Structure 1
Amino acid sequence: MGSGRAADSVRARYLVYFQYLGTDFNGVAAVRGTQRAVGVLNYLEEAAERLNSVLPVKFIISSRTDAGVHALCNAAHLDVQRRSGQPPFSPEILTHALNSHLKHPAIRVLQSFRVPSNFHARYAATSRTYLYRLATGCPGLAQLSVFERNRCWALRADCLDVAAMREAAQHLLGTHDFSAFQSAGSPSTSTVRTLRRASVSPDPASPFVLPQESRRLQFWTLEFESQSFLYRQVRRMTAILVAVGLGALTPTQVKVILESRDPLGRHQTRVAPAHGLFLKSVLYRDLEDLAHTHS
Structure 2
Amino acid sequence: MASRARYLVFFQYVGTLFSGVMAIKRPEQRFGVQNLLEKAAERLRSITPVKFHISSRTDAGVHALENSAHLDVQRLTGRPPFSPDILTSALNRHLEHPDIRVVRSFRVPDDFHARFEATSRTYLYRVVTGCSLDTLSVFDQNLCWALRTEHLDVAAMQEAARHLQGTHNFQAFRSVSENNWQNPVKTLLRVSVVPGPASPFTHPQLRRKLQFWDIEFESKSFLYKQGLLQVRRMTASLVAVGLGLLTPSQVKEKLESQDPQSGPALLVAPARGLFLKSVHYAGLDWSPGKDWYNRPSVSRGCSPGDVPEGPGL
**What range is the shorter-chain TM-score in?**
over 0.9
Is the contact between residue 237 and residue 266 of structure 2 (CA under 8 Å) also seen in structure 1? no
Q: Which residue matches 2:274?
A: 277
Q: Call closer, same or farther: CA 1:59–1:188 in 2, change over 3 Å.
A: farther
Code of the aligned partner of 1:283? H
- The SS at the match of 2:72 is strand
| Offset from partner CA, 1:189-238 (integer Å, 9 cap, x none) | 21111111111111122111011111221111101111111222111100
Q: Call closer, same or farther: CA 1:34–1:152 in 2, change over 3 Å.
A: closer
Q: Structure 2 length normalisation: TM-score?
A: 0.88
> Percent identity, aligned pairs only?
64
Query: Equivalent of 2:136, from 108, 119, 144?
Result: 144
1:35 Cα deviation after fit: 4.2
Q: Which residue matches 2:167?
A: 175
How many residue pairs align between the two structures? 287
Code of the aligned partner of 2:243? L
Aligned partners of 1:12 and 1:196: how far apart in 2? 33
Q: Which residue matches 1:200?
A: 193
Is the contact between residue 168 and residue 244 of structure 1 (CA under 8 Å) also seen in structure 2? yes
Is the contact between residue 128 and residue 228 of structure 1 (CA under 8 Å) also seen in structure 2? yes
Aligned partners of 2:27 and 2:231: how far apart in 1? 31
Aligned partners of 2:27 and 2:13: how far apart in 1? 23
Query: Equivalent of 2:51, from 45, 51, 58?
Result: 58
Q: Call closer, same or farther: CA 1:9–1:186 in 2, change over 3 Å.
A: farther
Q: Which residue matches 1:4?
A: none
Q: Call closer, same or farther: CA 1:84–1:267 in 2, change over 3 Å.
A: farther
Query: Equivalent of 1:27, from 20, 28, 43?
Result: 20
Matches within 5 A, 1:237-252: 237-252=234-249
| Offset from partner CA, 1:173-196 (integer Å, 9 cap, x none) | 111111111235587721111111
- The SS at the match of 1:253 is helix
- The SS at the match of 1:16 is strand
My pick for the range that moved more, 202-211 or 272-281, is: 202-211
Query: Equivalent of 1:255, from 248, 252, 257?
Result: 252
Query: Equivalent of 1:96, from 70, 89, 94?
Result: 89
Post-superposition, which runs of at least 4 consecutive aligned residues in structure 1 deviate over 6 A? Answer: none
Consecutive unaligned residues in structure 2, runs of 5 or more: 286-291, 300-313
RMSD over equivalenced CA pairs, Å: 1.7
Aligned partners of 1:294 and 1:222: how far apart in 2? 40
Q: Call closer, same or farther: CA 1:196–1:120 in 2, change over 3 Å.
A: same
1:42 and 2:35 aligned: yes
Consecutive unaligned residues in structure 1, runs of 5 or more: 1-7
| Offset from partner CA, 1:105-164 (integer Å, 9 cap, x none) | 1111000000011100001000111110001111x3221111110000011222111010
- The SS at the match of 1:239 is helix
